[in-house]
Amino acid sequence: MSTENKKTTESSAKETTQTMEFKAEVSRVLDIVIHSLYSNNEIFLRELVSNASDACDKLRYALLTHPELASKTGEFKIIITPDKATDTLTITDNGIGMDKEDLINHLGTIARSGSAEFIKNLTGDRQKDMALIGQFGVGFYSAFMVADKVTVQTKKAGTDKGYIWESAGAGSFTLKEDDSLPLGTSVILHLKKESAEYLEPIRIRHLIRQYSDHISWPIILKEGTKEETINSASALWTRNKADITLEQYKDFYQSVSHAFDDPWLTLHYKAEGIIDYIALLFIPSKPPFNLFQPDRKSGIQLYVNRVFISDDIPELMPFYLRFVTGVIDTNDLPLNVSREMLQKTPVLAKIKKGIVKHILSELKKRSEKKEDYNKFWDSFGIVFKEGLYEPNDEREEVAELCRFHVTGSENLISFADYVAKMKSGQENIYYLSGADLNTLKNNPQLEGFEARGIPVLLLTDPIDEFWVQTYTSYKDKKIVSVMHAKNDLEKIALEKPLEESNLDKEKTDKLLERIKTVLGDKISKVQLTDRLTKSPIALITPEGQMSLHLERLMKANGQQIAFNSERILEVNPRHPLIHKMADLISEGKEETQVSDAISVLYDQTLIAEGEALPDPGAFTEKLNRFILTGL
Ligand code: ADP
């Protein structure tokens, strides 16, 4: 933040106006917001009203510990004043207000988690970026979609210094002290000509009813001296399900989640029993931009008896369900519940248990409609699978709801589907993990499985590498990497017979010995395998050690790993190349050619694995020599 004084105006020292620059990311967002003809610009009102309501919530909460502030606060309310004479629309609240630091930190930067990462993804194409920004939710800055200048007058509760913040959006804002301001905040929008519709009371009433009806403080429309409350302030979740339309649920979802999509799932129920609570929960249809941000706030708002408490309570939802948004309202906590108490109380744990049970059972129902469920899986499967890894009591239910790619089919399948596909004699569930489906499908390790018609789960998400270490069996079936399927395959009938290997023991031993000599430290061991049918050789890591894929993932992440996994080279005794090499060795011919061939084959398997070659130059040179001989 640059804090230089660019200009000094006005008479008294107190009225000094400071000009400050926005942080770069704010300028980028504002540039897009200001210049886009965003069709959905009406959302600015819901964003500003939501901020005003939050400010009232915050002060109400502060009063619990600082009752002395109350004397200066009236009843909480939000006032909307359109003024056609000045073309301004003002949103006023008597909430917590902002001091100078707040103004600089909250209205001069975008402090939300993941925003920097998100803003990096903006393309420069305004049309596309606006769609992205929509996903991101611009909050306060949405004011600049309809206003060419925004003035914020504010004074923070507990202070006697007031400030006027003002900006036309381009690059900078000004700050001026004015202690005569009342407590709370007024956001004054100097509307653009084309946004004059927002001065019409009928339009304002309509928008408030659509987006902000559930706000628990009165929203008052002020025309001249006339004041009219225009929201019903009835918490939607306390109403009867039968009295709520789909449209109302959707509007509420968009409003609490600052989202633009339709909810994929709406779950509304009242729990009565040991703990009483109401839940109105949603699963979005599109993943929010910051789903993978570790410090992201939970999407669940906690209310106690219709009074907002907090929207940052990690104790309410397991991490693998962090895409769920909505409201929980309970009478089983005191209104003045503190952060420490929230961390300790068993009430939240019980509510959490209830919510999880409901969500999983709802997902189970929806999973019966495959196409519909796949939409959910595409958006959130990658997060949901963390439930196989995180410690929890519901892992078996989570497992039933997971879906996977599998060899021999284009459809996603469940563990149960897999078990139904198992071959006679097959005892384990097999998987192969790697960076992407195409590479996996061509992995030589699958050949022996394909020859026997054994399905193999294809796992491509980084989290897969982790859950396979904690969720090691489904029902009585072990979940085993194809790399570690030692002698399993022998027990299962081939769909078409393999050619018999005619390598004799002596030739084999000599070949394996030579391979080890040529490759040296690159591999720890070389052995024959029955898993390959088309490829001459392949690489595996021993059971219990990090897979090559995980090793690459961690290195790509810049993580230091204490040691590299051992690599075992497996040789297909039926492959003509292997036969040829074995013959040449036993005849004592062509020393360098065979050695070169071993190096080239090894490098090829690295490429197939998706690994960078340690010495691409040497590889090319050797390969070229073979090509030349071939020509
Ligand atoms: P968000 O509401 O998602 O945090 P915004 O861009 O809408 O993002 O607002 C940024 C911050 O500015 C808020 O978190 C809040 O701290 C502050 N703020 C905005 N409007 C008000 C208001 N009316 N009263 C007090 N603080 C406000």
What is the per-residue pLDDT for 9? 44
* Ligand 1 site, residue 578, Cβ cutoff 6 A: no
Q: Can you give the C-alpha Rg of the chain in angstroms?
A: 32
In ligand 1, the atom with minimum distance to the C-alpha of 137 is 3
Give the separation between CA 445 and CA 481, rounded to whole angstroms.
Answer: 10
- Which DSSP category does 272 fall into? -
Q: Looking at this protein, which amino acid is placed at residue 401?
A: L
* Ligand 1 site, residue 373, Cβ cutoff 6 A: no
What is the per-residue pLDDT for 3? 41
Phi, psi (deg, nearest 5) at residue 150? -125, 130
| Greater pLDDT, 490 or 629 | 629
Residue 305 and residue 329 in contact, taking contact as beta carbons nearer than 8 Å: yes
* Sign of the Cα pseudo-torsion (459, 414, 392, 311, in order): positive
- CA angle 344-346-347, nearest 5°? 115
477: left (phi over 0), alpha (psi -120 to 50) or beta: beta
What is the per-residue pLDDT for 7? 43
Torsion of the alpha carbons at 620, 622, 623 and 627, rounded to the nearest 10: 130
Give the separation between CA 618 and CA 631, rounded to whole angstroms.
Answer: 20
Contacts with 271 (C-beta within 8 Å, 6 or more apart), sequence order:
277, 278, 279, 351, 354
Using pLDDT thresholds of 50, 70 and 90, give the confidence band for residue 51: very high
What is the per-residue pLDDT for 316? 93
* Site to substitute for ligand 1 among 26, 47, 54, most atoms within 8 A of C-beta: 54
Q: What is the mean pLDDT of residues 467-484?
A: 92
- pLDDT of 392 strictly over 50: yes
What is the per-residue pLDDT for 354? 96
| Greater pLDDT, 329 or 23 | 329
Give the separation between CA 135 and CA 211, rounded to whole angstroms.
Answer: 17
Distance 311 CA to ligand 1 centre (A): 14
Question: Hey, what are 73's tokens?
Answer: 């606060």
Distance 136 CA to ligand 1 centre (A): 15
Distance 141 CA to ligand 1 centre (A): 10
What is the per-residue pLDDT for 85? 96
- Residues in the chain, overall count: 631
- pLDDT of 10 strictly over 60: no
- pLDDT of 62 strictly over 60: yes
For the stretch 393-451, pLDDT in tens is 999 999 999 999 999 999 999 999 999 999 988 999 999 998 889 889 988 889 889 98
| Greater pLDDT, 133 or 191 | 191
Distance 603 CA to ligand 1 centre (A): 56
Using CA positions, which residue lies closest to atom 15 of ligand 1? 106
Averaged pLDDT of the chain: 88
- pLDDT of 279 strictly over 80: yes
* Ligand 1 site, residue 108, Cβ cutoff 6 A: no
* Ligand 1 site, residue 510, Cβ cutoff 6 A: no
- CA angle 480-538-596, nearest 5°? 165
What is the per-residue pLDDT for 405? 97
For the stretch 70-103, pLDDT in tens is 767 778 999 999 999 999 999 999 999 999 999 9
What is the per-residue pLDDT for 39? 66
Distance 514 CA to ligand 1 centre (A): 70
Using CA positions, which residue lies closest to atom 27 of ligand 1? 51
DSSP 68-118: GGGGG--S--EEEEEETTTTEEEEEE-SS---HHHHHHHHSS--STTHHHH
> Which neighbouring-strand residues pair with 81?
90
Using CA positions, which residue lies closest to atom 3 of ligand 1? 139
For the stretch 106-150, pLDDT in tens is 988 876 666 777 777 777 777 777 767 766 767 898 899 999 999
Q: Looking at this protein, which amino acid is placed at residue 353?
A: K
* Ligand 1 site, residue 140, Cβ cutoff 6 A: yes
Residue 325 and residue 299 in contact, taking contact as beta carbons nearer than 8 Å: yes
Q: What is the mean pLDDT of residues 227-247?
A: 91
* Ligand 1 site, residue 185, Cβ cutoff 6 A: yes
Using CA positions, which residue lies closest to atom 9 of ligand 1? 140
CA distances from 1 to 99, 156, 166, 509 (A): 16, 22, 16, 70
* Ligand 1 site, residue 58, Cβ cutoff 6 A: no
Which of 59-68, 272-281, 333-342 has maximum average pLDDT?
Answer: 272-281
Distance 333 CA to ligand 1 centre (A): 27
Distance 139 CA to ligand 1 centre (A): 7
CA distances from 135 to 131, 263, 299, 573 (A): 7, 14, 14, 55
Q: Is 431 exposed, middle or buried (0-12, 13-18, 19+ CB in 10 A)?
A: buried
| Greater pLDDT, 119 or 592 | 592
For the stretch 342-359, pLDDT in tens is 888 899 999 999 999 999
What is the per-residue pLDDT for 5? 43
Give the separation between CA 209 and CA 428, rounded to whole angstroms.
Answer: 57
What is the per-residue pLDDT for 135? 65
Q: Is 543 exposed, middle or buried (0-12, 13-18, 19+ CB in 10 A)?
A: exposed
CA distances from 204 to 53, 153, 231, 416, 440 (A): 17, 22, 11, 53, 56
Residue 449 and residue 473 in contact, taking contact as beta carbons nearer than 8 Å: no
* Ligand 1 site, residue 94, Cβ cutoff 6 A: no
Q: Is 571 exposed, middle or buried (0-12, 13-18, 19+ CB in 10 A)?
A: buried
Using CA positions, which residue lies closest to atom 11 of ligand 1? 106
* Site to substitute for ligand 1 among 51, 99, 296, most atoms within 8 A of C-beta: 51
Using pLDDT thresholds of 50, 70 and 90, give the confidence band for residue 171: confident
pTM: 0.76
Question: Hey, what are 484's tokens?
Answer: 């570690």
- Which DSSP category does 153 fall into? E
What is the per-residue pLDDT for 484? 80
Using pLDDT thresholds of 50, 70 and 90, give the confidence band for residue 304: confident
- Which DSSP category does 402 fall into? -
* Ligand 1 site, residue 52, Cβ cutoff 6 A: yes
- pLDDT of 52 strictly over 50: yes
Question: Hey, what are 159's tokens?
Answer: 């202070």
* Ligand 1 site, residue 51, Cβ cutoff 6 A: yes
Give the separation between CA 264 and CA 262, rounded to whole angstroms.
Answer: 6
What is the per-residue pLDDT for 536? 92
Distance 49 CA to ligand 1 centre (A): 10
Distance 15 CA to ligand 1 centre (A): 24
